[in-house]
Every structure is written in C-alpha cells, then in structure tokens.
Amino acid sequence: MTQPNSYQLVQASHAEMAQRWRHHHSAWGSGMPLELYLRREETLNDGELCRNHMRMWLLKNDSEEILASCETYAARIWYGEAEGDLNGLKLETVASVLVEPRLRMQGYAGELLRELAERLRYEEVAAAALYSDVGPGLYRRAGYFLHPARESIRTVAGEPWPDAADEITLAEVADLLKEEPRHVHARLAMTSVPAILEVPTAERVAWFNVRSHYRAWARGQQTPVVVGARGPDGGYMLWTADAPDAVLHALLWRPRSPEDAAILAQAAMAQAIDQELQRVVWWDGDRDTGLDPYRAPELQPPGTLPRTRESSLPMLTWLDPARPMPLVWGGIERLGWC
C-alpha cells in the first residue's frame, strides 16, 4: 500500500536562505547580475525589517528535500467595524512563493500555503496578504480573495523639480510617518462594515530604499538620495524604483489639496527623469468605499491614465475566526508589497 505523503513546514537556516536566493535570482532577478543580487539579499537580510519581521519558510518531505519555499513579513493591521472597538491585529505578507521548475505541477505550492495558514492560525495571525504575478488561481484555491486591482500611469515628460516641493530623504521618513496611526484610526472609525488598514512604517520604506539602490547599480546609475516630496499644503508622497522595468512606483500618496497633488506629481516626474525612468505608476486603492480620503477625485495625480493591473494582484486570506472577514481592505499601495 502506498503511504500518504507527509510534509513539514520549517524556518530556513541562513545557509538554506542563501541557497534559495540563488533560485530567486533565476525567477525574479532579471536585469541584475547574480553576485549583485545575492549581495542585495544579504543586505536586506541584515536590515531592520528582515531582522525583526521576516521569516523564510521551507516545505520539506520526509527525506528533508526542499519542495517549496516562501517568505513572510510581519506587520500590524487595524481592524474596525460599525460600533466596535478598533483592534490591532497581526498580519503576515507572503512573498517569493517558489517551487523549482523540476518540482512544479505536483501541488507543492498549494501544500506550502495550506501548511503556512495552519502555522499562522496557531500564532494568532489574523490575515495573510500577498501580491500575485501568476494570476489568482493558485491562491484562490488556497483561500485567498482578490482585491480590486487598478493603477494610474503617467508617461515621463521633461518637467523640472517644482519650486513649491521639498525633497524628502530617508532620514526624514520616520518623523513623517508619525501621524499615520492617527489618520488610520480616524478613517476606520468612520466605517460601517468590517475593514482593515495597515499603518505604514519607516522600516518598509528603508527596505524599498535598499532595493532602489541595488536596482540603480544594476542599471549603471547613481543611487537615489531623494525618496519622496512634500507639497506646499503639507501633503507628501514617497516613491521607489525597485522593479526591473524603468518605472518609478508611488509607495504612499498623501496629498492634502489639489495643488499638492499637481506639485507632487510634477516632483515624481522630475525624479523619474533624474533616474532615467520612463513612467510613474500609482497603485490605486478601492476608491468606491469612500474610506480613503487620498483617493478623492480632486486629489488624484493629474494627467494619468487608469488601467486594470495585470501583475502584483493584491490578495488576502482571513484567518481570524473571532471576527468577521473585512469587506474593505484599505491602503492597497506599493508599500504593502514585499
């Protein structure tokens, strides 16, 4: 009689992580030499976000063979519902789900996600989120739900840095984000349905900044010093150029007036030109809920073209049996991705 397969989910040792990074390069390291990619992963692993909040998980069989792997990044979400108290809950962002080509089509990715969900439930994690580049099929079968995915795009034109905008460097980000928890609480307090929002952190911005530096080196460019801009009315945006394509991504979009929106968009254009990039992309949240004031039509970056996103599709699985699954998942921005 054939014995059923048995699997174990374990955390990777540093040596196992380094081995998997080589496979990551084959899958996602386009445009970056292997040695530079491995150096980047070591640098990220030594950073505050990875040291404190990242784990790599391995699915192994009885022979200790690695069948699949992924990473998770711990964060905090705030959960609110009508006439209820706001609660800070655990979130894990899932990234880098990998099965080597020789092992694919055998169900290992699905088994990895099932084992991971059980582990996270045991740890009282309320939700797991991910951003899929392979479509929703695999993740839907594992219990994930697709969030509306849109983006706004603006082609780079020859615009100078606006005099009304101030540059933001990484050293300023922590102070800049101090008000974010208060704004998140205020937004959740107004919801009439179960909803969650993640509070942005300086650790994640620093993580993206490292990736932007290595991407610039891979392109033969100088590393960017400026990570965002502040408008005349106190609004701001943060950005990154961490992707293999020549795109500046908005990490956070926080204009306080239409004038802020226009000036911040112009600053992003100027930054893209400085980094020899072709487009600026804003990841749109669900504007129809009314929960996110930064998605109001008058605060959108002018001159952009909206489109449905075909990659990095945001998905969520709810693991908390004590609370209703949120109907609104706010803050779907580049910052949430790892």
Per CATH, 8-146 and 150-310 having the same topology is answered: yes
Tell me, rounded to whole angstroms, the distance of Cα 216 from its chain centroid: 20
pLDDT digits (tens, 9 = 90+) for 249-299: 999 999 999 999 999 999 999 999 999 999 999 987 655 566 778 888 899
**Would you tell me which CATH number, out of the four given (3.40.50.12500, 1.10.10.10, 3.40.630.30, 3.30.720.200), belongs to the domain 8-146?**
3.40.630.30
- The mean predicted confidence, pLDDT, of the chain is 91
What spatial distance separates the first Cα and last Cα of the chain, rounded to whole Å?
Answer: 43
Q: What is the pLDDT of residue 338?
A: 55
pLDDT digits (tens, 9 = 90+) for 23-76: 999 999 988 999 999 999 999 999 999 999 999 999 999 999 999 999 999 999
Residue found under tokens 């980094």: 275
Q: What is the pLDDT of residue 336?
A: 72
pLDDT at 179 over 60: yes
Whether the Cβ atoms of residue 269 and residue 157 lie closer than 8 Å to each other: yes
| Selection from 221, 289, 300 nearest residue 254 by Cα | 300
Give me the residue spans of the domains in the chain: 8-146, 150-310
pLDDT at 2 over 50: no
Share of residues in the chain with pLDDT > 90 (%): 72
Burial 80-90 (b: 16+ CB within 10 A, else e): bbeeeeebebb
The average pLDDT across 152-160 equals 92
Q: Is 276 left (phi over 0), alpha (psi -120 to 50) or beta?
A: left
Q: What is the pLDDT of residue 1?
A: 38
Q: What is the pLDDT of residue 333?
A: 77
CATH architecture of 150-310: 3-Layer(aba) Sandwich (3.40)
Share of residues in the chain with pLDDT > 70 (%): 95
| Selection from 325, 316, 304 nearest residue 154 by Cα | 304
